[in-house]
Amino acid sequence: MSTVRAAGLTKRFGTVDAVRELDFKVTPGITAFLGPNGAGKTTTLRMLLGLIRPTFGTATIDGKRYAELRHPRRVVGAVLEATGFHPGRTARRHLEILAVAGGLPLARVDQVLDQVGLTDAARRRAGGFSLGMRQRLGLAGALLGDPGVLILDEPANGLDPAGMAWLRGLLRGFAGQGRTVIVSSHVLAEVAQTADRAVVISGGRLRYCGPLEGMSEDGLEAGFLRLTEEAQR
Ligand SMILES: Nc1ncnc2c1ncn2[C@@H]1O[C@H](COP(=O)(O)OP(=O)(O)OP(=O)(O)O)[C@@H](O)[C@H]1O
């Protein structure tokens, strides 16, 4: 049962307050992480994953900052952008390297290739993959450590309708095992079909944290616009 928490989380880039005093807690299930362009979503996710340091406050997973996790890949898997592949490496080789670097059993590679539907493409070079296939490969890497938490930045980007339905099933199955998913998205129709809860930020500040129904009495889009419009900078 993994919990993700932001406490007083703040990030300043020069004079830009990207994230301001965010407090939220995410528990098992699927939580959509929503906000307009520039709201601070990616910055928040990068702080959770120890990729950038907060100016103030903390971002923790199971009570620990990412840097304090002894086996981070077993705790949290993440896909922030589907571009971090060596184009000349095959999908399988890419995952083998990640497994070795993360101290994970190589047997996981075939399991995750199967889980994301890339078994038949395992020997193909990632440089020739479509955007949707790169998303699947990124997801495979995130799943390698069999983590309790998945953090995904716009994972539906590039997926065709069948791919979106497949991703929804995968995330539901993952959450159904009592695990925690945080998924950022701009596609509210997809969010409505997938998420249990939402964290909404705008202008770097928290606007909502709670069940999806709680922000969408008159439709998710209307709720989202109401929560975020006064904060547009
Ligand atoms: N490395 C950086 N240096 C300076 N400013 C940054 C940096 N990274 C992000 N910002 C600024 O911080 C703010 C939040 O950006 P962020 O990428 O976190 O938003 P986002 O919600 O993920 O947006 P989008 O939906 O467009 O991806 C923006 O004003 C952005 O320009």
CA-nearest residue, atom 29 of ligand 1: 38
Instruction: Using the predicted structure, report yes or no on whether residue 31 has a pLDDT greater than 70.
Output: yes
Classify the complex by whether its ipTM is higher than 0.95, answering yes or no: yes
Write out the two tokens for 36.
């307009």
Distance from the alpha carbon of residue 133 to the mean position of ligand 1, in angstroms? 26
Length of the chain equals: 233
In the 8-state DSSP scheme, what is residue 12? E
| Residue 209 DSSP SS3 | strand
pLDDT single digits (tens) 132-170: 888 899 999 999 999 999 999 988 887 888 889 989 999
With tokens 């840097």, the residue in question is 67
Q: Tell me how many helices (H) and strands (E) the chain has.
A: 8, 9
The answer to whether 191 and 160 are in contact (CB under 8 A) is no
Q: What is the Cα–Cα distance from 134 to 155, expressed in whole angstroms?
A: 10
Phi, psi of 70 (to 5 degrees): -75, -40
Lookup: tokens for 152? 């995904």
Select from 9, 10, 16 the residue to mutate for testing ligand 1; criterion: most ligand atoms less than 8 Å from CB: 16
pLDDT category of residue 231 using cuts at 50, 70 and 90: low
Q: Whose CA is nearest to atom 8 of ligand 1?
A: 43
User: Which residues' Cβ are closer than 6 Å to ligand 1?
Assistant: 13, 16, 18, 35, 37-43
User: Which has more pLDDT, 129 or 31?
Assistant: 31
